[in-house]
Structure 1
């Protein structure tokens, strides 16, 4: 008989894989790899995500990895900007190429009607061949005479997010730095070519993605894998590695796959308060987000709200207001939980202010 994993068991497994049960002592580069990258469309949010997961996180370390070209900001999973190791960005980009094209076309199909996308890609690469980083608007402007009809937004999005594997260059994404997006091809920035597509009929990258995803997010259904990656479920890759995996069911009867030796803590394992950044993949990395957020609050996960986990579940939102970490509960918290939220909030405030402040305000009651 297949073991059924309840919501709380799945919650604890997810928290363990995400280093949200206990802060890890692993190096930043290894952590970014283990998490399969961090959502990074808001440039400062990965710093908060890593602070919540690592026992001694220094933002300068991530800055050094970005400027040293060991991690990179690029469009990948779900067509969103992710912070990835250089190795993963180069290895995974070709496998995501068709999805990226289709997602941009889903927005701009009318504007791009009649545009030869291969010709557009070649023209974009020619513009960038001089090695000068360019904004999306600058790229589109350079091509507007050849393709005047689509408009700069459609041309730029298709080039930067889909046709040409791009890196968003520092100072974008550095700690406490505001900077616009300047793009270079990944190969030019990293000094290595993007891995070519696999021979037809094989999918080694897809198989690696299945294993890596389950290590960071499992146990999970194929729908969860699809929601995280934006790819069409990777059925061939899942079938190829199925013999390596173990199978469970959730309380709704869905099949969940996992790596046999991956951590699945007891549902009774205590879960500390954790502050998550906007768009954190601990939430967005699933189709069924019920393991960590109530259906009534699911919209928060795509609205850019920063959230607080209490007993492993989303229980509050938070923001920085005039130097104070302000927490708004989604439901009434016990006195013990309020104390724990305030304590973790003070640690976060100290981190955000470089040790110079620890002001926290927890709303007296939910809105």
Structure 2
């Protein structure tokens, strides 16, 4: 039987529904972070915006409590970028990402790190961190640079913090409206135990869990989309193991799309409200083929850290905010008066959120 074809609009509405962007959810914040498989968090304030756009009545203080209470953590994970994930997911997923994290650092600093004994360096780093004291990357590398002077502090530090040691970035970094540098502690100290060991099962049970979780929050999607989200190359065995649980579709280009059978796939004509997305939001970055939500002409915005706004489910504007909370929207295309009004009104609500209620100023610049 030929797999049904899902056009771009059908994929768009499915993505919005899975990403909690079609209708704000009543999920608790921790459950939302879990459902989304984490939020991009290299820009520390952006997860607050991501959750505000997705959750009804979201309060920043709740996320602060989750961070300080060690329910969620900031850590290098998918694609070697800093993500805000639940502690449970960090512990379950980190070992499965170890090889990818290490390889990505080594690819950037291939010349500087050539010949380094990775096990020896990792053991030395663990010994330094074993006293339970938080350290910046610079403080960690200073303790080791006499033994490994050739790479230089930056390559050595990134290899340790992002590639060799399972580390958490501690608060106050990542708290609401707080500026703070990065201080690190091992998972074993901050969370009370080391990451789960990597399974030797060839069927890759952690990989299977990642496939299911990805499709729940991003599907229907191709295997290439899954890889773009997590950065892991070795998932064919996991996909093969769960294929019998899944349903298949095709997109308009003929690519096979996988999905969970009971996941939401709304009517393509379902209205989509205006939504403001933070920088590097995975609703865009979590796909190899991002055309379901952003035009190819604007694809570069998704990797440039530009905040964008969705109109009818698609990227149609960029936005910025001033220190006083004022939101300024810049359209990428001609918008109707109705759409401009909707952008202004949602922008005012966002301004009130960003300023803790002190401002509701929002404006749209001329195209």
Match of 1:318 in 2: 319
The offset of 1:202, in angstroms, is 3.5
Structure 1 residue 32 corresponds to structure 2 residue 33: yes
Query: Under a length normalisation based on structure 1, what TM-score does the superposition of the two structures give?
Result: 0.99
Deviation at 1:193, TM superposition (A): 2.0
> Could you tell me how far apart the structure 1 residues matched to 2:201 and 2:157 are?
30
- The one-character-per-residue Cα deviations of 1:257-278 (angstroms, maximum 9, x if unpaired) are 0000000001100000000000
* 2:172 corresponds to 1:182: no
Cα distance in 2 for partners of 1:353, 1:74 equals: 27
The equivalent of 1:243 in structure 2 is 244
Equivalent residue in structure 2 for 1:355, among 346, 349, 357: 357
Contact 2:102 2:164 (8 Å CA) reproduced:
yes
Distance 2:224 2:203 in 1: 21
1:230 paired residue number: 231
**Separation in 2, partners of 1:289, 1:252:** 13
Aligned pairs for 1:1-367 (under 5 A) are 1-232=2-233, 234-323=235-324, 324-365=326-367
**What CA distance in whole angstroms lies between the structure 2 residues aligned with 1:232 and 1:322?**
41
Instruction: Name the SS of the counterpart of 1:201 in structure 2.
Output: coil
Segments of 5+ residues of structure 2 without an aligned counterpart are none
How many residue pairs were aligned?
365
TM-score (normalizing by structure 2): 0.99
Q: CA deviation at 1:18?
A: 0.4
Aligned-pair CA distance for 1:157: 0.2
User: Separation in 2 of the partners of 1:360 and 1:32?
Assistant: 28
Q: 1:322 to 1:148 in 2, by over 3 A?
A: closer
Offset at residue 332 of structure 1 (A): 0.9
Q: Secondary structure at the match of 2:242?
A: helix
SS in 1 for 2:310: strand
- Report SS of the residue matched to 2:105: helix
Q: 8 Å contact 2:203–2:241 — kept in the other structure?
A: no
1:5 counterpart SS class: coil
Does structure 2 retain, via aligned residues, the 8 Å contact 1:223–1:233?
no
Query: Offset at 1:321?
Result: 2.8
| CA distance in structure 2 between the partners assigned to 1:152 and 1:322 by the alignment | 34
- C-alpha distance in 1 between matches for 2:133 and 2:196: 23
CA distance in 1, matches of 2:178, 2:55: 22
8 Å CA contact retained: 1:222, 1:233: no
CA distance in 2, matches of 1:60, 1:233: 38
The superposition leaves residues 192-223 of structure 1 with CA deviations (integer Å, 9 ceiling, x where unpaired) of 22100101523100000000000000000000
Distance 2:224 2:240 in 1: 14
Contact 1:225/1:233 (CA < 8 Å) preserved in 2?
no
> Is residue 45–residue 175 contact of structure 2 (8 Å, CA) maintained in 1?
yes
